[in-house]
Amino acid sequence: MSADNPVIQDDMVVSVEYTLHLDDGEQIDSSAGRGPLEFLQGRGQIISGLEQAMAGMAVGDSKDVVVEPAAAYGEFNPDANQVVPQNAFPQDMDLQEGMGMQVQDEHGHVMEAFVAELRDDDVVLDFNHPLAGETLHCHVDVVNLRPATSEELAHGHVHGEHGHHH
């Protein structure tokens, strides 16, 4: 290693091991057993609060970051739901509360929604992210850092062998 230890800045490819907890201590995500998450810093590929907090960290650094909802998955919007008749869904679809699905609006935009409530003939879909309104407690360990290749910068994402993270 050279003396000038690289630190996280825009256009660096960052590999982190991480765990995410909610306020009540529930673990909702972790890289454990999956290998580190790789992302391109400065492109909004991870939640903005975490991206900002990690700027300037070096390999081997770890940090606990508390991310407010606005910098994570957004505040909870009580109006972001929609009542859909049950017969709008395929009959063989096993609708269950809490299940996620992708819904197209009339403009063809795909949105993530989940089933908030099943009624007799209707389904209430909630378009909030399941983690909207949640404060996230993240523990991150930086395991690798490298400058992005020109190809990665042109495409705006990392060319790892793990496929695409969303």
Tell whether 114 and 98 lie within a shared domain: yes
Number of domains in the chain: 2
Same domain as 95, residue 143? no
Please give the structure tokens belonging to residue 52.
């900002």
In this structure, what CATH number is given to the domain that contains residue 117?
2.40.10.330
Q: What is the DSSP string of 57-105?
A: -BTT-EEEEEE-GGGTT----TT-EEEEEGGGS-TT----TT-EEEEE-
- Asked whether residue 56 falls in the same domain as residue 108, the answer is no
> Which two three-digit tokens encode residue 17?
């091991």
Quick one: pLDDT at residue 91?
Answer: 86
Separation of alpha carbons 138 and 46, rounded Å: 12
- The position carrying tokens 């940090």 is 63
Mark whether 136 and 90 lie in a shared domain.
Answer: no
Q: Whole domain around residue 98: which residue ranges? A: 81-126
| Confidence label for 163 from pLDDT (cuts 50, 70 and 90) | very low
The band of 135, judged by pLDDT with boundaries at 50, 70 and 90, is: very high
> Residues 6 or more apart from 60 whose CB is under 8 A from it?
142
Res. 161 pLDDT band, cuts 50 70 90: low
Per-residue pLDDT for 4 more than 90?
no
Q: What is the pTM of this model?
A: 0.77
- Across 71-100, average pLDDT: 92
Helix (H, G, I), strand (E, B) or coil at 14: strand
Q: Is residue 165 scored above 90 in pLDDT?
A: no
User: How much is the average pLDDT of 71-81?
Assistant: 94
Q: What is the pLDDT of residue 142?
A: 98
pLDDT digits (tens, 9 = 90+) for 107-133: 888 888 999 999 999 999 999 988 999
